[in-house]
Amino acid sequence: MLVVAPHPDDAELGMGGTIAKLIQRGMKVGILDLTNGEPTPHGSIEKRTAETQLATQCLGVSWRYNLGLPNRFLESNLENRAKLAGLFRLTRPRWVFAPFWLDAHPDHIAATELVEAARFWSKLTKCDLPGKPFHPQRVFYYYCIHLKHIPQPAWIMDISGHWQTKADAIMAYRSQFYEGKEHIDPPMIELLREQAATWGMAIGVRYGEPFASKEPIGLSDLVHLI
């Protein structure tokens, strides 16, 4: 599976627990950051790169790549669509995860539009895209939103055994979640823990992460439902 993130830290915030859990279960999971996320008030390209490396190690991810698109100016245009479609054809993920399609952050909206368009383009023949035609089976959507919106998820992943890994990966981004925010009470990581606990309570477990889908989800049996 491939997690597409507008900025380094979005994958960790939206589905860090799920990433760690699936890797532990033997799945191949990659993260594609579309931009470097900078500039930010307390960050720099050098800081963010080092923080991303640490977060990647925390999650156990062995493949992470940055597409090098411009932060704050991310667009779902033809040039960027071709770049992402080409990467889909080369990495060939069965499942792609993208940010939830409603958001106040323009980069997040553009990222999701880009993923959906590139998914279609990646199966084209008679084109100059690298690799062979390929169509990811599913696109799922994780929540890492700046909009005051209460999600209505299609499903919730139990991350009870992986919350601390997610928390460690998030706090690797000290320039984003610690520096300049020492006065905030409660700390952001505590608010995120409470959110995860709320989603966990919804399915009868300690912690959870919500996901959306625009397409129906098929089941072969009910054995593994919580």
CATH code of the domain containing 34: 3.40.50.10320
**Quick one: pLDDT band at residue 89, thresholds 50, 70, 90?**
very high
Residue 185: predicted pLDDT: 85
Q: What is the pTM of this model?
A: 0.96
pLDDT tens readout for residues 180-219:
888 888 999 999 999 999 999 999 999 999 999 999 999 9
The residue segments making up the domain with residue 189 are 2-212
| Domain presence at residue 141 | yes
Residue 103: predicted pLDDT: 96
| Domain presence at residue 224 | no
Break the chain down into helix, strand, coil percent, rounded to 5: 40, 15, 45
| Domain presence at residue 226 | no
CA distance 20 to 58: 8
| Domain presence at residue 69 | yes
Number of domains, the chain: 1
| Domain presence at residue 218 | no
Residues belonging to the chain: 226
| Domain presence at residue 72 | yes
Q: What is the mean pLDDT of residues 35-39?
A: 98
pLDDT tens readout for residues 156-170:
999 999 999 999 999
At 215, list the tokens. Answer: 């397409």
